[in-house]
Amino acid sequence: MERVADMAEHTRQGFAEQLERHRGIVFKVAGTYCRNPDDRAELAQEIASRLWQAYPRFDPARPFSTWMYRIALNVAISFVRDDSQRRRHAIPLDDQLHDIADPHATDPQAEQQVRILHRFIHAQAPLDRALLLLYLEDRSYREMSEILGISETNVATKISRLKQRIRNEL
Partner 1 sequence: MDTDELKAAWQALERRMAQHDQLSLHLFREGRLEKARHSLRPLFWGQIAQIVFGVAMTVLGVSCWTPHRDLPVLLVSGILVHAYGVATTAMAGITLGLIGLIDYSAPVLTIQRHLARLRRFYACNGMIAGLSWWLLWLPFVIALGAVVGGNLTPAAPGMLVVCLAIGIPGLIASAWIHRVRRRRAGSEACFQDALGGSSIRRSQRVLDELSRFERE
Residue 22 is classified by DSSP as T
Q: Closest by alpha carbon to 33, among 101, 132, 102, 112?
A: 132
Shortest distance in whole angstroms from residue 1 CB to partner 1 = 20
Give the nearer residue to partner 1 in terms of CB position, either 4 or 27: 27
Shortest distance in whole angstroms from residue 10 CB to partner 1 = 15
DSSP H helices, the chain, are: 2-21, 23-33, 37-54, 64-81, 83-88, 93-100, 108-123, 126-136, 141-148, 152-169
The site for partner 1 (CB under 8 A) is made up of: 12, 16, 19-20, 23-24, 27-28, 30-31, 37, 40-42, 44-46, 48-50, 52, 54, 57-58, 67, 70-71, 73-75, 77-79, 81-83, 99-100, 102, 110, 113-114, 116-118, 125, 127-128, 130, 136, 138, 146-150, 154, 158, 166, 170
Give the nearer residue to partner 1 in terms of CB position, either 123 or 166: 166
State residue 115 phi and psi, 5-degree precision: -65, -45
Residue 131, Cβ neighbours under 10 Å: how many? 22
Residues 6 or more apart whose CB falls under 8 angstroms from that of 60 comprise: none
Give the nearer residue to partner 1 in terms of CB position, either 56 or 92: 56
Shortest distance in whole angstroms from residue 23 CB to partner 1 = 7
Shortest distance in whole angstroms from residue 51 CB to partner 1 = 8
∠115-35-133 over CA atoms, to 5°? 70
Give the nearer residue to partner 1 in terms of CB position, either 70 or 92: 70
Shortest distance in whole angstroms from residue 78 CB to partner 1 = 6
